[in-house]
Amino acid sequence: MHIIVIGKEGQVARAMAERASTHRAETLLLGRPELDLGEPSAIEDILRRTGGDLIVNAAAYTAVDQAEAEPGAAEAVNASGAGTLAGAARAMGVPFIQLSTDYVFDGTLPRPYREDDAVHPLGAYGRSKLLGEQAVAAATDDHVILRTAWIYSPFGRNFVKTMLRLAADRDEIGIVADQIGSPTSALDLADGIYGVARNLLENPQEGRLRGIFNMAGNGFASWAEFASEIFAVSARLGGPFARIRPLSTADYPTPAKRPGNSRLDCAKLEAIHGIRLPVWRASLEPCLLRLIGEVSGR
C-alpha cells in the first residue's frame, strides 16, 4: 500500500516513516514547503500528482497554551486544513485518516471516554481539533478519525524528553498529579494506523470500519505517575532521574485548561478493527533506551 502522511516533522509522521517497512508500506511524508495547509488551492493538485492509496493527516497545530492567544492560527491548520485535505481525498477517491485528541472532551466523566460521549473542549486547541473532526466528516464519508492522547517518542518534543532534560539539572521536579490519561507511544500509534489503513483498503465497502475511534496506549496514569515511571526506568538504564513532587492543577496554572480525565476507552477499535495498542509501560523502556543512548553515545 502507498500511504501519504501529511505533517512530515511530527512525532507520528516520523514514527510512520520508521515503521513503514514493517508493514510493507510505501510511505511518503509531505509538509512545508512542498505542501502548506495555509495554501489550500494547491493541495489537491499536489496530492493528485503525488498519488497514493490513502492519506493520513498527522499535521497539527499543537501549541495548546499558545492557541489561547491565536485561535485563528490553530483553526487554520486543525480545522480548515483538515477539511481541505479530506476534500482532496474524496476527489481522489481514497480513504482519509485524521488524528484527533482527548482535548475534545472536558474531562469531567468519572470513567474513560467512549467515542459517543458528549464533546465539550475546554480551550482553543480542543475546539480547533473538534472543528477539524467535523470538517473531515462533512468532506468525505470514507474517513476514520482517531482520537489519541499523551504521545511520546524518540522524536520531536514530548513529555518523556522534557523529563529527561529537566532531571539532568534538578533533583526534584513538580508534576501535576490530578490529571489522568493514556500515555501513547508514537511508534505503537503508527503500527495501529497502518492496521486501520490496511483494513480500509482491503474492505472498501465495510461501513463500520469508518467513523470515530479512540486509539491510545493501554492503561492509564497521572502525569506524576508517568514521570515516576520514566525516572524509574531511566535510573535502571543509567540515565537521569529525579524525585517527583506531586502538584495539583491549581498549583500549576496554565493559559489553557486541561481535562482532568483524559482516559480513552479503546474497546470499539479492538472490536471493529482488531487493534489494541500495547501497555504504555512496556513501550516506554525501548523509547528511553534510544534516548539515553543518544545522549551518552552508546
In the chain, the domains with their CATH numbers are 2-296 (3.40.50.720)
HSE, CB side, 13 Å, CA atoms: give it for residue 158: 22
| Confidence label for 42 from pLDDT (cuts 50, 70 and 90) | confident
What's the rounded Cα separation, in Å, for the pair 114 and 213?
8
Per-residue pLDDT reduced to its tens digit, 200-255 = 999 999 999 999 999 999 999 999 999 999 999 999 999 999 999 999 999 989 99
CA 71 vs CA 59, 89, 131, 167, 253: distances in Å: 16, 26, 12, 33, 19
219-252 per-residue burial string, b: 16 or more CB within 10 A, e: under 16: ebbbbbbbbbbbbebbeebebbbbebebbeeeee
Q: What is the mean pLDDT of residues 99-103?
A: 98
C-alpha to C-alpha distance for 107 and 94, rounded to whole angstroms = 34
Asked, as a colleague might, if the bond just before 246 is cis with ω within 30 of 0, I would say no
Q: What is the model's pLDDT at position 9?
A: 87
pLDDT tens digits, 12-38: 999 999 999 999 999 999 988 888 887
Average pLDDT score over residue span 124-139: 98
Closest CA to 46 of 80, 91, 12, 15: 91
Cβ atoms of residues 288 and 237 within 8 Å: yes
Going by pLDDT thresholds of 50, 70 and 90, the confidence category of residue 297 is very low
Identity of the amino acid at 96? F
What angle in degrees, to the nearest 10, is found between the helix axes of 223-236 and 159-167?
60
- State which H helix or E strand residue 126 sits in: helix 124-139
pLDDT in tens, 158-201: 999 999 999 999 999 999 999 999 999 999 999 999 999 999 99
CA angle 24–30–64, rounded 5-degree value: 110
Mean pLDDT of the chain: 95
Annotated active-site residue 194? The verdict is no
pTM for the whole thing? Answer: 0.94
Number of H helices, E strands in the chain: 10, 12
Give kind and range of the element (H or E) at residue 212. Answer: strand 211-214
Closest CA to 146 of 8, 269, 238, 29: 269
Query: Which of 61, 103, 113, 125 is flagged as catalytic?
Result: 125
For residues 119 and 108, what is the distance between their CA atoms, to the nearest angstrom?
11
pLDDT in the model for residue 40? 78
